[in-house]
Structure 1
């Protein structure tokens, strides 16, 4: 049967927690969704784990945009949901997305909760959700979803090493305003905890401002900590 929803998960060296994350998606697979994991060349056992716990696991050039585009191309579902490997969907996510699409809303995202007891990170999440609601710009942590036809219409995610979610939101906003679901996804606080909350907040605001004023996304990705993609 053709799946009604495709959940696309880009991964890179996510082995230690990937089995648990993918097991949490089994509830959606039981209800007719397909889970597609796209590995960007992990050096651990991410791909092997994905083959055990997903409907499809494949390799693609490293970078979330390229990986998500490859996942979308491999899944014929009418609705696509793009999920970071460290983000957990609410149990009714598939129904919420289906309801939104039935209301002729072409794309949208969830509110996000950062999985931490630190009050500062609770405020960070609230501000992320508010900013998104005011601007129509969604971040990858918010589990962006859209109709397949709209994804095709805009040509998929721009193949950027960073800020692909902002670039995609900008394209989509030209066609349709998003639905901003208040139901929350939970995303890991690991980056904030590893690098420090204030330092990470400052870095993200600085990179977003630089991108807005035309900085090269490849250079921003290096500042963020991404390793450049190997030449083809």
Structure 2
């Protein structure tokens, strides 16, 4: 049961080596770089990963990595995330039970009380509503991933959309193990402000708002995704990072 770990990157020199090291035991680690100017690709190669290039856009980068992967199982890891030491045995055990895919619980570092609340909320969201984000290290059987067409070209919510479609192929499991992610996305604008914005965007997504509107809310003002990202004329349910 060979597992390919796929890491999309863009200027992740500060994090990429640790992310790759955490994937110890993987059949291969593929870093899909979108034109980093900080030496991310060189660090990734020195750390033992295979590096390929793709246009910016997390969904498209992950699709490119999946197409290049040799393993029968794909695990998508964010560049600022670390897999737990038990990741390989836990993923294999889940797959032996017949699941089509799954994800890990979330741990945020460095920790503080406000981030502990966010961890708890993410756990409730995943357990009660079955909604997981890409920073929870999604894993999936490659044949199922290809069967659903991979990630759609959405500027946001590409991971939630993908999981929804995967569940139509079989059972999806939330593991007890935790993937550790950097607190940087919450630090940038404040934990509660960021979380509130993400709740608004998720609610809009579930209500069926078009991707372009979600993108504008996430980035503020009249921001629009670059050409070619939206699908079906900009309609669709389009993800904040947690």
TM-score (norm 2): 0.86
What is the aligned residue count? 226
Is 1:171 the counterpart of 2:165? The answer is yes
Which residues of 2 match residues 1-232 of structure 1 at below 5 A? 4-25=2-23, 27-29=24-26, 33-225=27-219, 228-229=225-226
1:219 Cα deviation after fit: 4.1
Does the CA contact (< 8 Å) of 1:136 and 1:169 recur in 2?
Answer: no
1:136 Cα deviation after fit: 2.1
1:227 to 1:179, Cα distance in 2 relative to 1, 3 A: same
1:227 Cα deviation after fit: 8.0
Residue 7 of structure 1 aligns to a residue in which SS?
Answer: strand
Q: Deviations over 1:45-87 (max 9, x none)?
A: 1122222224310111211110001001001211110001111
Distance in structure 1 (CA, Å) of the matches to 2:43 and 2:228: 27
Q: Which has the higher helix share?
A: 1
1:208 Cα deviation after fit: 1.1
Distance in structure 2 (CA, Å) of the matches to 1:66 and 1:128: 25
Structure 1 residue runs without a partner (length 5+): none
Does the CA contact (< 8 Å) of 2:106 and 2:123 recur in 1?
Answer: yes
Q: CA RMSD in A?
A: 2.0
Does the CA contact (< 8 Å) of 1:162 and 1:218 recur in 2?
Answer: no
Distance in structure 2 (CA, Å) of the matches to 1:166 and 1:48: 31
List structure 1 runs of 4+ shifted beyond 3 angstroms: 225-232
Q: Which residue pairs with 2:234 in the alignment?
A: none
TM-score (norm 1): 0.90
